[in-house]
Structure 1
Amino acid sequence: MQLTKHAHACVTFTGDNGSLLIDPGTFTPGAAALIAGATAVLVTHEHFDHFDGAALAAALDRRPELRVYGPAAVRAALGDHDGRVVTVRSGDRFEAAGLEIQVHGEQHARIHDDIPLVDNVGYLIEGRVFHPGDSYRVPDARVETLLLPTSGPWTKFGEAADFVRAVRPVRMIQVHELMLSELGQASARTLLGETGLTGLPLEILAPGESTGA
């Protein structure tokens, strides 16, 4: 299985039977093209930087084979599309693009009491790689590779470090980085990385860069 990092929270997993796209949002240039090439799409939550609703709706209209999975708000925004938009919840297990998916978590991380919490799910791919969306909720499963969010109105490096320590992955890769400058990303790698709070290297992949997963 190959993982390709795109801008912000968007990644693609490519296996023998297709490609699985997670969180194509409006912060990801070329999201529509990525959706066009995907066998299936997973959405962690409804926020626009993770969910380009217009691009996904257009793709569902054009491609009767496309499947989209996400919380109830995603289905409400897109419609049923003859059962091809599927609501998922914590504890669900299913297969998409030939890959095994486990769903963990229920809510977005708190930003402020004045901002309502929305549903947020994380996805464990093939029992190895975990994409948490916008949450530090620790999955009830062993994780080999953690995709670690490093920027956003809800993020805090101290909480991110505690999240990594609780998950105890073998490897971690940065996602959700667009609110950090190059200096900010370097600071995240230092503070959260091998010589910092977690003792584990924080890998920073450029958009379009791939790695084995």
Structure 2
Amino acid sequence: MQLTHYGHACVLVELSTTRILLDPGTYSEGFEALRDLDLILITHAHPDHVDVDRLRTLISLNPDVTIVHTPGTTDLLAGLTTTTASPGDILTADGVEIGVLGSGTHAPIHPDLPSSDNNGYLIDGRVLHPGDALDPPGIAVDVLLAPAGGPWMKLGEGVDYVRAVAPRVVVPIHQAGLAPAHQQMHHHLLRTLAPSGTELVILEHAVPHAL
């Protein structure tokens, strides 16, 4: 398995025969020219997780790609051929199972702001992208793409989430809103406070990494 992080929440997961891109959003860079994509998974409709203009470019380069998203993202993607999914659904792409997990709700930012739906995606029973929520999956996970910062979370919650999931590898994502010094601090604390047996791996931008 190979992972490539294009910044913030956007990650390319490459299995032996399947290429899956998650959350190509406005804070991410370098994914626009990807080809041979089989599946694009969108956790929710916020722009840092789906950039509609660049998504259209991806579709033009990958005309056979399948796009999966939450029901709340449907209007945003009007005119595109897509598939909606909600927690509890199980999808397949070229024989790879995609489990849709979580409570279905974006973590709250403030009671006065509108809520959003949210999907977590478990790819091949191995890689979990939770979107903007910290819902423990209740099953073993090999690689956790763990949010490192955002207006809806504090780092202590992220540490507790990593401890609850206890993956073999944790990869920090959702960090574009943090200053470089704070990114380093959050990564250090995630590494220091991770449970025994969990390795923190920081992916270099747009560089494939085998796990």
TM-score of the superposition, structure 1-length normalised?
Answer: 0.89
The equivalent residue for 1:127 is: 125
Unaligned runs of 5+ in 1: none
| Aligned counterpart for 1:171 among listed residues 169, 172, 176 | 169
Separation in structure 1 between the aligned mates of residue 173 and residue 163 of structure 2, nearest angstrom: 17
Question: Is the 8 Å Cα contact of residues 31 and 52 (structure 1) preserved in structure 2?
Answer: no
> Is residue 2:39 matched to residue 1:40?
yes
Separation in structure 1 between the aligned mates of residue 15 and residue 94 of structure 2, nearest angstrom: 8
Separation in structure 2 between the aligned mates of residue 183 and residue 17 of structure 1, nearest angstrom: 38
Measured against aligned partners, the alpha-carbon deviations of 1:30-67 in whole angstroms (never above 9, x if no partner) come to 34323x55222000000000001122245446754121
Letter in 2 for 1:93: I
The equivalent residue for 1:99 is: 96
Shift of 1:164: 1.1
Letter in 1 for 2:14: T
Separation in structure 2 between the aligned mates of residue 42 and residue 51 of structure 1, nearest angstrom: 10
Unaligned runs of 5+ in 2: none
Separation in structure 1 between the aligned mates of residue 56 and residue 189 of structure 2, nearest angstrom: 40
The equivalent residue for 2:144 is: 146
* Count, aligned residues: 209
Shift of 1:151: 1.4
The equivalent residue for 1:4 is: 4
Question: Is the 8 Å Cα contact of residues 104 and 121 (structure 1) preserved in structure 2?
Answer: yes
| Aligned counterpart for 1:180 among listed residues 178, 181, 200 | 178
Question: Is the 8 Å Cα contact of residues 121 and 130 (structure 2) preserved in structure 1?
Answer: yes
RMSD value, Cα: 2.0
Separation in structure 2 between the aligned mates of residue 179 and residue 66 of structure 1, nearest angstrom: 29
Measured against aligned partners, the alpha-carbon deviations of 1:79-100 in whole angstroms (never above 9, x if no partner) come to 364xx40000001111125522
